[in-house]
């Protein structure tokens, strides 16, 4: 019976392609399901043989550790170069959006804290 190896929800295309490549390289039989038209399912990568699941999961752990290390190194390099996204850079790039989000947060907090008081009066 087939086993789900990777749910493709929020998985970048490059990561999914790298996973497909190492599955082919390791000769692990797999197939993909496509996302549904209404967004209920986001698709997935499935192993055809569930006996290969422990090996595939071990390879996935190695892959994700390597990808995480690469992403952390890229983030550190961006911070050193001054290209990392920060609150101040967002505020400069999109001031109306940032102020709007801050106002929405304040409104939600005020309503959340005041609602019990209003209901108990």
pLDDT at site 2: 86
- C-alpha dist (Å) from residue 107 to 31, 68, 73, 76, 96: 47, 36, 37, 35, 16
pLDDT at site 118: 84
Predicted structure pTM score = 0.67
Full pLDDT tens readout for the chain, 121 residues: 789 999 999 899 999 999 999 999 999 999 999 988 887 888 999 999 989 999 999 999 999 999 999 999 999 999 899 888 888 889 999 999 999 999 999 999 999 999 888 888 7
pLDDT at site 38: 85
pLDDT at site 50: 86
For residue 46, give every residue at least 6 positions away whose Cβ sits within 8 Å of its Cβ, in sequence order, or none. Answer: 2, 3, 4, 5, 30, 31, 32, 33
Tell me which H or E stretch contains 47: strand 44-47
Q: Other CB atoms closer than 10 Å to residue 15's CB: what's the count?
A: 15
Q: Which tokens belong to 86?
A: 């920060």
């Amino acid at each position: 019976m087939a086993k789900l190896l990777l749910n493709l929800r929020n998985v970048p295309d490059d990561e999914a392609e790298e996973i497909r490549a190492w599955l082919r390289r390791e000769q692990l039989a797999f197939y993909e399901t496509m996302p549904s038209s209404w967004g209920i399912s986001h698709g997935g990568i499935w192993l055809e043989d569930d006996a290969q699941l422990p090996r595939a999961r071990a390879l996935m752990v190695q892959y994700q550790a390597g990808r995480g290390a690469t992403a952390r190194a890229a983030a550190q390099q961006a911070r050193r170069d001054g290209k990392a996204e920060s609150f101040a850079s967002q505020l400069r790039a999109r001031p109306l959006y940032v102020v709007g989000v801050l106002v929405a947060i304040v409104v939600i907090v005020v309503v959340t804290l005041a609602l019990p008081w209003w209901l108990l009066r």
